[in-house]
A and B are shown apart, each in its own frame.
Chain A
């Protein structure tokens, strides 16, 4: 492989259209489509008694009203449980439209189709529904108490009991020199992409086929779901993810009710139908994440080395479990981060509440796990009077311990084995980057100004790039254009650029010649999807393999023409040439033409190719057995198991004790995602992740009241950070390539968000000297905390620790 584009900060291919307003997002498609709107439950838990649509029928422009009664066949069945798990003993999913009981505010009950969205909302507003209100369960504590139930047939509200352990934790705790236990809370936030969800469907009556555009992270699976639920044969359904305005996890869930109902309506009405989710709908009917209560017991020795860790997590999965228990499994299996913990037990109770479903949001359970682990580390340091960095360093997995087998099962069902890393070096870089050892002087300077300064840190390890597979198709056209397609989707990660870099590097062609398509089932039918920081790892390796297959074939054909050994050939700048022999060459595009024995001279490329076409061998068929016309290749990459990226963040906060405002003075990141394809894009991912981490730590929360009403379902009150709230980020890189794939890649998408709350909580605790036991935290809550009887804590400085240690 040439390395010309690999590792370079190549400018993004997709930007050319996006900066001039020529992107094509879901709502930009189908200007003549009918518009759908939904009547959604205003109650968190209510039985639907009667639906009266009579007043809506008079609305001019109304085209259709659908309720559960109108659903037929598989559509009338519950939505699928995408990822079943043996420990998910009580899985429950809703129906595309509420059948009897609405389980959260926002659940769709009636679908309205009209000539435009204004009119659809008019009609929706005139539909009268009578309800019987039922008792509401909000929050993990209420779910555990089970005074009321979400689902009648789940009396303890527990959907799943997940349990993993590496040894006898109770014995190990009993044998530990020191132990303590504590409980802490983590609140809800959400992916909240700038573009909500959306679906456009067009039914072709003559062909009995369906084309669906969805703002999704998994178009191939949406296709399969639509085919199954609408009882269509697979080849009659195509699904395309157009430009997608951000995903961050919420768009991996599928099929959303609307992904089935919009195609259903398009088919029944014989007309394009489109639903563009508005912001209020996104708040109350898409997915949230992160709420947990964590009960932690740790055993450790005099030096602060952990001897046993026992964690019980109460995880709020919302009203349904369509995405299985991936999020709490991530918490349970990723919690230990970079630390060598001899005996570990994780138990998770995943509980139902009358709230929006909980499915992965960037980080997907890991921010909570890191919060549990890192708050534990801080407490050990405080108990033992050891510098917080030092206690972490003492517990790190060492470079010679890889592969590090936890004896646990990861979320992909594979063994949890860390592939590579260098955690001591990473922590050393972080301490330099944030000047950990020189912090005392900064604190004193701030104190002189009447401000409280605090510092915190949090490393993490993230399983990335899980299988089962991704594939890619690479084809060289007679024009020289190189088509690359992979089935997974893009939501801003720059796949059009990085996959082009990989293909160009493998094939030896100019980057400009490569055109990448993602998420279009017309081009590639097999894919898993974009989640779990897996695109670069899994599709990236698949693209490289497919390009390599094309290259092999190209060299073979060119070798015949040039009468050379394929091993003596190379491709550079789109020219196949004999190494060291100037002039002995053939353009790759000509090889592409030669690869197809049928080549009418429609164009210059085909005409040129004739000069190379010899008389041929009459004893063989024009296309050899086992060969195929065309210069193309499809290949798949199926990883043995996940790769494990790592990183560490450090934060300095300044707090004004007159207002308890929390300002981030410094944010330092050391990041290791193995081999980097495009450092510009990786840094962009880190920046964005950090911003979401800061948002989740200090600003964002889904504020449900006791009745299950989301009280802040707007951008006015759900406080996503503007630039004024996001700190500058200092980044240092480290690269420990993954031994599991040939490119050495680990995933980078989610990393930036993972340790945010843990590091910021540590810094705030350091500044105010009071125990932080819940995140996020706002100034008003900090003010309450410092006036409460919350435990007082003192951190040892790097200079005076060690005496006790």
Chain B
């Protein structure tokens, strides 16, 4: 289990990154945290000709939290995001989801944007990007463009970004007012990839009635899925909302696959359970923020 030969380069600017990606062609691969890529290299399941290490590019390790949302640079480590109270204030899902990412040693090195660019449907941050209706900024030789999550994720480990391109940051819009969030997942062992996970946002009207309930799931589809569950609970007072009904609605909306650790049916059960539980928590938080 040793990586096959490759060339290595660690440019110090985005332009240099793009230059070298252009010159190295199809076989070049961007290396950020490497916590998903390195195992693939060691198992020789991936064999890029060139690794373009962006870790020495300045300025990519910033978290900027503003009124409209949180922008997370390509070199921000999970641990850094987890520790950011500014980010949590603007969008609490960031910390809540990141706390579920693997174990501390992995969080110290792995990056939030890297896990999004990896497009693993069992990744926490892919789901959060989708749930918050976020986007990524991609640099290409033609310039920079913003790509919404729905256009970015095409399939498992597949994004719409091809050719010489590097994801510079991810943007997570702020939590709307009168809203609450929750995130939960079930893994076989603590820190494993989730068998199923759910992140939710509940928004209330001024009378503390549910106006919106949305959920995103991990490990249930080929790409992150967001489902609007508002119909099950719309207009209900938050304290007595039928979150179980919303869970049942979600159970019917998802179409997961089975694998070694969970059958499709079991995943549907977890979708229902996690949805009801997280919505209840999110509803309670929304109520506090509405008071």
Contacts and interface: CB of A to CB of B under 8 A. Distances in A.
Is there direct touching of A and B in the complex, by C-beta distance under 8 Å? Answer: yes
Interface of A: 117-118, 121-122, 125, 278-280, 658-661, 699, 703, 711-712, 714, 716-717, 719, 721-722, 724-725, 778-780, 783-784
Given A659-B269, A659-B270, A783-B269, A722 B186 contact: no
Given A118-B2, A125-B44, A780-B266, A659 B186 contact: yes
Interface stretch (B10-18, B257-265, B282-290): B257-265
A714 B270 CA distance: 25
Given A659-B270, A783-B265, 20 more contacts: A121-B2, A121-B44, A125-B44, A279-B1, A658-B269, A660-B269, A699-B188, A714-B43, A716-B193, A719-B189, A722-B190, A722-B191, A724-B191, A725-B189, A725-B190, A778-B188, A780-B262, A783-B263, A783-B266, A784-B266
Contacts of A724: 189-191
Interface string B112-147: 000000000000000000000000000000000000
A719 B260 CA distance: 11
B241 to A, nearest CB: 18
A779 B189 CA distance: 12
B192 interface: yes
Contacts of B46: none
A711 B44 CA distance: 17
A719 B266 contact: no
Given A699-B188, A722-B190, A724-B191, A122 B263 contact: no
A721 B270 CA distance: 22
Interface of B: 1-5, 43-44, 186, 188-193, 195, 260-263, 265-266, 269-270, 273, 277
B190 A122 contact: no
Nearest to B190: A724
Which 3 pairs show the lowest CB-CB distances between chains A and B?
A: A724-B190, A780-B266, A278-B1
Contacts of A658: 269, 273, 277
Contacts of A699: 188-189
Given A699-B188, A721-B189, A778 B2 contact: no
A699 B187 CA distance: 12
B169 to A, nearest CB: 29
Contacts of A280: 1, 43
Contact of A659 (B1, B44, B265, B273): B273
Contacts of B195: 779-780
Given A125-B44, A659-B269, A721-B189, A118 B3 contact: yes
Contacts of A703: 260
Given A658-B273, A724-B189, A724-B190, A780 B263 contact: yes
Give the interface centre of B2, B270, B273 by most chain A CB atoms within 10 Å. Answer: B2
A722 B188 CA distance: 11
Contacts of B188: 699, 719, 778
13 contacts: A118-B3, A118-B5, A122-B5, A699-B188, A703-B260, A716-B193, A717-B261, A719-B189, A721-B189, A722-B190, A780-B262, A783-B269, A784-B265
B260 A717 contact: yes
Nearest to A713: B43
Nearest to A116: B2
A694 to B, nearest CB: 12
Contacts of A716: 192-193
Given A122-B5, A125-B4, A779-B266, A711 B190 contact: no
B5 A722 contact: no
A408 to B, nearest CB: 39
Contacts of B192: 716, 719
A250 B164 CA distance: 48
Contacts of B261: 717, 778, 780
Contacts of A711: 260
